[in-house]
Amino acid sequence: MDSNERLLKVLNGEPVDRVPISTYELCGYNSLSFENQEPSYKGLMDYIRKYTDCICMWNPASNDNAALSSYSIDVKQDRKMISGFTITNEVIYAPKGKLSRTIKVFDNVYTQWTTEHLCKDINDVDIYLSIPFEPLSYDYSDLERVKKEVGNHGILMSSLADPVCTAMELMEFGDATVWALTETDHFGKTIREIHNRTMVNLEQMLKGGVVELYRICGPEYLTPPYLPPSYFKQFVVPYVREMTEMIQSYDGKVRIHSHGRIGKVLDYIKDIGADAIDPCEGPPDGDIPLKEVKRLVGDQMCIFGNIQLKLLENGTTDQVRSYVKDCMEAAKEGGHYVIMPTAAPINVPLSPRTEDNYKAFISASLEYGSYS
């Protein structure tokens, strides 16, 4: 059974020869990803290509200018390179005013930090949404390349933001939480407008081409202890359900991505009707053991998880192997399970300990994950 077949079968709840092994953002079969161009990752990536099941994260390019719209606006950027990092200051000129943000990127760390958010209050949110909506168009010209590279070694997965993700990331997280709690009507109105734009763009994306799996990000922002479960029910479930139903109508699969404490909202997640869930963090990082997640939703959803990245970066190989065994005992039975870390390293160079622990995770998964 090749990796493509193994992953598609496990998503459908069909029997497979072994538990699929995903290394999440470390993608063995996309030559353009940083981990396949960085020399310190080569040994690990060769091992990943040989022994795991690739879920290649890939999105088509779009003409998104701001506010999920292709509407033409003026944007000014000022970039300064300072020893060890780069600072980018951006000003967006919307019809009702201007908005600014600052992004910081450290050398040899493959992510970015927003140190000044686009919106500081709800007046800024109104300025943001004053940008007229014009649907996005998508460029699929890179799809054949990545499909050819992945081949039968895995499947492709695109990542989408739900309305909560888009709204909450407009502000600093604490400010966004206060906005949702104290200006709930305004928050709800914003969510609805973002959702309308999201759905139009999503259909445009799906009409252009469909990959096997779609990861929907954002629900974690409305999990306890940040906000009560009623907010999840009101502002996540109906909108993500519509996204899910549209994707499934185009024969795509949907995976709900939510870190943190999902125990009190797991029934709501199940009601969405998605095909899979990740990363299902156990205590103390989350609030529900993997075995309980499997009991509650494993008949309906494929479970991805839940090896913590901090274990892979800081633990011992014996600890990693023991945790893998525990995961298999908790979720392997009955299928519908993919063992996977909760995140991936983003630093360069890759540490020898992290590489050794990833190899221990993979080899233990092969040892304990067989169904024969």
332-366 core/surface letters (b: 16 or more CB in 10 A; e: else) = beebbbbbbbbbbbeeeebeeebbebbbbbbbbbe
Which of these, 284, 292, 238, lies nearest to 263 by C-alpha position?
A: 292
- % of residues, the chain, pLDDT over 70: 100
CATH 3.90.420.10 fits 3-69+132-368, yes or no: no
* Integer Cα distance of 354 and 360 in angstroms: 10
* Integer Cα distance of 82 and 345 in angstroms: 24
Q: Are 170 and 114 in contact (CB under 8 A)?
A: no
Largest CA-CA distance found in the chain, in angstroms, rounded: 63
- Orientation of helix 290-297 relative to helix 317-331, angle to 10°: 20
CA angle (312 as vertex; 103, 150 as ends), nearest 5: 75
The enclosing H or E element of 123 equals helix 122-128
| Mean pLDDT of the region 69-87 | 95
- Put simply, whether the predicted model's pTM sits higher than 0.95 gets the answer yes
Q: Give the pLDDT band of residue 313 (cuts 50, 70, 90).
A: very high
Beta-strand (E) ranges in 261-345? 276-279, 302-307, 337-341
Q: What confidence score (pLDDT) does residue 372 get?
A: 85
pLDDT digits 0-9 by tens, 157-184: 999 999 999 999 999 999 999 999 999 9
pLDDT digits 0-9 by tens, 285-312: 999 999 999 999 999 999 999 999 999 9
CB neighbours (10 Å) of residue 246? Answer: 17
* Integer Cα distance of 21 and 327 in angstroms: 12
Q: What confidence score (pLDDT) does residue 47 get?
A: 98
Q: Write out the two tokens for 286.
A: 């989350």
Q: Are 75 and 82 in contact (CB under 8 A)?
A: no
Q: Are 108 and 348 in contact (CB under 8 A)?
A: yes
